Structures are given as structure tokens and as C-alpha cells.
Structure 1
Amino acid sequence: MKTFVRTSAPSGKPHVAFVLAGLRAGGSEHIVSLLCNHFSRLGWTVSLFAFEEPGTDPYYPHDPAVRVSQIGFPPGRLPLLQSASAMFQRVAALRNALGAAKPDLVVSFLTRINVISVLAAGPLDIPVIVSERNNPALQRPGVVWSALRRYAYARAYGLVTMTQGAMNQFPPSMRRRQWVIPNPTYAPIELDPHRTPGHTIVAVGRLVQQKGFDLLLKSFARVADHIPQWSLVIWGEGPERATLEAQRDALGLRDRVAMPGVTQEHGGWLRGADIFVLSSRFEGWGIVIGEAMAAGVPTISFNCQWGPGEMIVDNVSGILVPDGDVAAMGEAIAALCKDPERRAQLSQAARIASMRFRIDSILGQWEGAITDALAPAQPQAVPLKAAAA
């Protein structure tokens, strides 16, 4: 078994490299920005590698000391042979970048980037912590990538998931070391506590099937006539825009439902939000629930796997609706719209509940995992050349 010997950065402190697909808006991009800034403030050397073309502006701010490298080869769906070629190109590009940067540890995010990172870092004897951010029970990467994931995760230093349910989806051979670390919860913007209440229901996320905005439109359509003062705003962008707009119009909701795209201000979707709704079919965690709760916005969510049920105490700090139950979601929306006192109670309770996932605690958990991986003369889990177990 090979031994990894840490060589400190010139500052005498560790050098950690984070790897992810891109730097646009998203849950993984958000947590990576927080981690980069945290370790940079500790005086560590921090590198950030993204598989996107150079020149793309990051959505989330990074400390000026963070070394951001956009190494090209953006992800995309390709035919099998082209996809295999692209993967090897990404592995080679990342290996070259890591070889030049010489980090002590790599931390990667999302399945395919995790696989690429382990394959790239293995020959360099750099340990890798891989982080699954989605729902492995329902977001399966396909036969080829599943096999690659089994191979890579068995050779990673350890695995991070956001929920115990997600961790339990992986056999022991794929989680030789494991940490369940939820996303941090904080209000990205401060809302005026004395603002005049309005009548706006807000949802946010990529316009994809996973987020269930088609279910939300059906739910809202069932009760829209009973709450005529209320409107719905769905923030986000994605491939389902045209389909969702057509559904909205067919339901007669064109004047009641706005779809303004991606807010240019991080957390700007919270401004004017009187109720937040999460309609996802499944989640890895549901970071926007945490942001809404921390900001004191009353929250309704499908009790999907995983995340909402771990964040919300039903009818105390929010409202949980049976998974995928459109009728129940509509009833919950209408009832909360008609009850300002209950909205105020949920708002206060949500702020308190969100403290369980405060940012300093979550960053501390990440720091513990990363510090463990940086222990001197720490052996890698399994050398890449070893046969699969």
C-alpha cells in the first residue's frame, strides 16, 4: 500500500483543492464557495478547479486568495464513445492541474466529478474525499457510471453525504470512512421584519422534473380561485421552461404565476416572499428550505426523500405534505394563505429551528473531516492499481 506524505504549502498550513463541475448557481457551488472562503480565512492555501470554459463569472463570491482555475471540458450529454473520450480528457486535464498545484487533499462534489477526481488524483498519491449531493436512491448514474463509481469510491479516502438515508445507499466498501454533513442553513439576505406582509408564494430551483414545479402548478390551480389575492413566483431556469409555461397557460394561470428566471442577487428570491413552497419529487437535502426558514419565511414542503423531514418539524417549524400529493399541497397552501397568525407562528419557529444547521457548526464538521484526511503519513484507502474488492 502506498503512503501519502503531506507536504505543506509555503505558509506551513495545508493546501486543499476543491473540484466541481462549474461555478454557476446551485447547491454544490454554494457549499464549495463557503468552504473555500472558510479555509482561506484560516490561512490555508485553497485551489478551486471547475470543468468549464475560462472566463465564466462565478455566481457565488470567493475570497481573493482562492486560486480559481477553469480547466475547460464542461459536462454535457454525449454518445457513449464521445463520452468516454471526454471523460479521459477531463481526467488528464485535472491530473495535469493537480500535478502543477500539488494540493495535500482533493475534495470533489457530485458523482461524475468524484469519479474523475479519484482517477486523476490516484496516480499522484493525493487523497480524495468524495461528496454525494443528490439522492443516490433515485438519481442513478447509469450502468457505466455506476460501475466507475463503485471502483472510485472504494479508492477514495472517504465519503460525505448530507443525510443518513443517502449514506445508507452505499455499501461499506464504498464508504470506508464516512461523514454525514448537512448543508448549512443561513439567510443569504436580511429581510425587513417590519415590512408590510404581501400575498406572494415563492418557489425556486432549476426548471427540471426533479423540482416538481408541474406538481406545484397543479396544486396552485386547484385553490387559486379560493385565494384570489395571492400569486405564485417560480424562480429559476432550465430545460423545462417551455413545458411549464405551456402548462401554466393551459391552467389559466398566466396572470397569477410569474417565472422571472434566475435572480441576479444570491437569495434575492426571498425578497417579497410571504410563503415558500418546495415541490420536489426528491432532493439531496433542500438547501433552499434552510434559507427560507432562516429568513423566517413560512415553509410548506412535500415530505420527499431526503431532507425536508430532517429539517422541518411538521406543523411546528413548517408544514410537511405527503410526498407527491397534489391535493394535499393545494389544501396546505390555501390554508396558510388564509391564516396570517399561523404564518407568523411558523416564521418564528422556523428561525429557531434553522439554528440546528448554523453555518459555523457545519463548517466545523467539514473541517474535522478534512483535518482527518490531512493527518501526516495517512495511507490512501486503496491504491488505484489494486483490483476491485
Structure 2
Amino acid sequence: MGTLPLPTDDPSKIALLIHSLSGGGAERVVADLANTWVSAGRCVTLVTMTDSKSDRYDVSPEVRRVALALDRPSKTLWQGIWNNWRRVRAIRRALRESGAELAISFVDRMNITTLCAADRLKIPVVVCERTDYRHHSIGKFWDRQRHRWYPTAATLVVQTEEVAGDARDWLASVPIEVIPNAVPQSAITSSPRVQSGAARTITWIGRMAEEKGVAELIDAFGLAARDLPDWTLALVGDGPLRGSLEARANELNVGDQVQFHGWQRDLGEVYDRTTFFALPSRYEGFPNVLLECMARGIPAISFDCPSGPRAIIRDNVDGLLVPAGDVAQFSAAIVQLAKDPERLERLGLAAAEVRERFGREKYLRRWEDVLEKTTDPGNLRR
């Protein structure tokens, strides 16, 4: 599994906190870190705001799982205040009972809640931003709370230098570390396959939400389908926009060519049927799914959105970057790649180099450095 030996001066008790394990890139990372660290001999507590019934990622039975079941919606201001107060108290209790020497929280609102909960505890908190917060709105209230509480973090972990540069402008006193995602272990268990274009399937994987740009992808495919009548667009995932996206495909008369597969636990068969991958996001963090498909020798077309894709894709070397939001150019890129099997093969072979560029051992060493620096008595900020 690529587990590194446990350094003797690093924390042996760690608490990981995230809203849920219900699917998604951040959730997968948390489950993987929990499993990796517990197998290295650490005591790991994994706390979620939801109950465990929604879990889609498996964690080792050796991981202490705390599911708070406090994710109920707030219908009024006072109910929101009450619910958040309960969440802060519950997280504070979970941290205290875990005996953790270090807490690591993932994703904006959970980060804020964890920092607030840990304010009375002598536990350093590492907060991890998983998207480009400059483009991802969490509402005025939560944005103010982020600026109030993030300066109390022991370390901020982001995924790209682009986001780190902005964060340093308003978090001058907080150490900021850049840790890109690693290629998932599941993607490197076999040799990259050579692309031939025979499958004639373009694949998208993710959550069907506004920021993922799936509507733009359907529009682009609708234009391209005139030249690619025997190609399929496979959409793997679910989310609040699924119904409207299905309607959009039908309106564009490509309903027969656009397949909605829902959420899939095992993506191996999906990748086996994929000719190339499409990433039409309006903004990103550092997309796991892009790393995973490229590691399998699958090239990708992506909008050059902030931030993440341009840190992974080398334009016209292992994939194609299209100006953000330009549906016509995205459609043209789809047609060009679909009709050029030699280019597909060349890009696919180069795409597999992400295995070395974003290798797991390098990734784990970066995390070990964060753990060591954050818990060094000379660096403690709490």
C-alpha cells in the first residue's frame, strides 16, 4: 500500500475530520489516509458530521469511527445557531475523547467548525482546502468565519501553488503546505493500456453539481455528435442536477448517445470502456479522477479552469486544455481527438507518466513532513 515507516517523533494519535464519507475526492483521501496511518501503527480517529450509513468508502476496523449524525438542515436562523453550537460541542468532545495529538480537518465548513471546537483544547489543527476557494462560494456568513478562524490553524494544506499564493496574502502567520493528490493505488495495479479509440466512449465522472460543468459538456457533445454519430458520452455519478441534465440531453437530441450510469463504487470497468476523459469543470481543486484515468493511459480534455487541471495536464503532451467555458472549442477538441487514433495513442502513453509525477510515496512523505512540522514544540501556535 506504499506505507512509510512511522517516525518515532511524529504524532501517534491523529483525528481526521470531514463532513461525510458519502463519495467524492476529499472523502476518498480521508479514508485512504486513515487506513494508511493505522496500518503504520498510529491510533486514528475518523469523525464525520453524518452517520455512517452514508459511507461509500471502507475504513479499517482498527480506525476508531465517530459518526456524529448532526448534519440536519437548519430552517431558521436560531435553529442554525443551535445546530452549529451542538456540532462544535460534539466535535470538541470527540477530539477530547480521542486523545489526539493532532487534528486534521477537510473542507471549508468542517474546517471552521473544527477550529472553533479546538479553540479550548491544546490540539494543533491542520485544515485542508480541497477546492479553489476563490471561486467556490460558501455564503457570506461562512466566508467571514473562515477569515476569523483560519488564522488560528496550525497549518493550511492546499493542493496547488496557485491557491497557496493567494492564501499567503491573507494568512501570513499560518504555514501553508502544498500537497497535490497522489495517483490512487487502484489505478496502478496494472499496466497502462494503449488507446485505440475502439470503445468510442467519452467518460465523465463526478458529482452532478453546477460547478462541475456537466451541462456544458452535454452541449459540447451535442455539437460534436453530428460528426460522431457512433460515439457515446458516459456520465458516471449523481447529484442534484441529474434530472435537468437528462432533460438537456434529450432536448439536444442526443439522449440515445448520452448514458447516465449513477454512482459506481468500482470504476475499473468504467475505465476499461473509456476512450478519453472529459473534465468540463468551472473550477477544481486537484481532481483525483483525472489522475486516475491518466494513470491508466487514458488522455483527457479539460477546461483550463482554476485550479488543478493545468497542474496535471501538459497541453498536447498527455491531454488537451481548452479555454475555460468555451463550449465550441471543447466540442472541436472532442471531434479532433475522436478522429485521430494516432494522437490518442501518443497522448495516452504520455498520460501514464502521472504515476511518477504524482507518486504515492512522494505524497505520503509530504504528509509526514506536515505532521512532523506541525507537532514540533518549536512550531506549535496553540
Give TM-score, length-normalised by structure 2.
0.92
**Cα shift at 1:57:** 5.4
2:96 to 99, 110, 126: 99
Aligned twin of 1:5:
none
Cα distance in 1 between the residues matched to 2:33 and 2:300: 27
Q: CA deviation at 1:375?
A: 2.1
Using the TM superposition, name which of 168-177 and 104-113 deviates more. 168-177
Q: 2-side partners of 1:75 and 1:212: how far apart?
A: 28
2:26 to 15, 25, 28: 28
Q: Tell me the C-alpha RMSD between the 2 structures.
A: 2.1
- Report how far residue 73 of structure 1 moved: 0.7
Is residue 2:369 matched to residue 1:372? no
Does the CA-based 8 Å contact 2:195-2:297 persist in structure 1? no
SS where residue 160 of structure 1 aligns? Answer: strand
CA distance in 1, matches of 2:34, 2:379: 23
Of residues 169-178 and 100-109 in structure 1, the stretch that sits farther from structure 2 once superposed is: 169-178
Q: Report the Cα offset of residue 140 of structure 1.
A: 2.7
Would you say 1:208 and 2:209 are equivalent positions? yes
**Residue aligning to 2:363:** 362
C-alpha change, 1:77 and 1:247, in structure 2 (3 Å) is farther
Partners of 2:180 and 2:286 within 8 A in 1: yes
Give the Å deviation of 1:40: 1.2
Question: Which of 100, 118, 121 is residue 118 of structure 2 equivalent to?
Answer: 121
Matched-pair contact (CA < 8 Å) for 2:195–2:298: no
The answer to whether structure 1 residue 151 and structure 2 residue 148 are counterparts is: yes
Which is further off, 311-320 or 71-80? 71-80
Structure 2: stretches of 5+ with no match in the other structure? 1-9
Q: 1:199-225, CA deviations, whole angstroms, 9 ceiling, x for partnerless residues? A: 111001111111101000110111102
Give the drift of 1:75. 6.0
SS at match of 2:166: coil
Q: How far apart are the structure 2 equivalents of 1:34 and 1:198?
A: 31
Distance in 2 of aligned mates of 1:45 and 1:191: 32
Any stretches of 5+ residues in structure 1 without a counterpart? 1-11, 382-389
Structure 2 Cα separation of the partners of residues 256 and 313 of structure 1 = 29
Q: Deviations over 1:88-129 (max 9, x none)?
A: 110001111111111000000111100111111121111100
Cα deviation code 1:146-204 (max 9, x no counterpart) = 22111211111010110121123323436511101111123634567379831111001
Separation in structure 2 between the aligned mates of residue 75 and residue 258 of structure 1, nearest angstrom: 33
State, as a whole percentage, how many aligned pairs show the same letter.
33
Deviations 1:1-59 (A, max 9, x none): xxxxxxxxxxx961010000001111111111121122112111111000112x41532
The answer to whether the 8 A contact 1:51-1:75 is kept is: no
Instruction: Give the Cα separation in 2 of the matches to 1:154 and 1:59.
Output: 33
Q: CA deviation at 1:134?
A: 1.1
Distance in 2, matches of 1:187 and 1:226, equals: 37
1:219-271 superposed Cα distances (whole Å, 9 cap, x missing partner): 01111021122100011110001110110110001110011110132555323
CA contact 1:186–1:354 (8 Å) conserved in 2: no
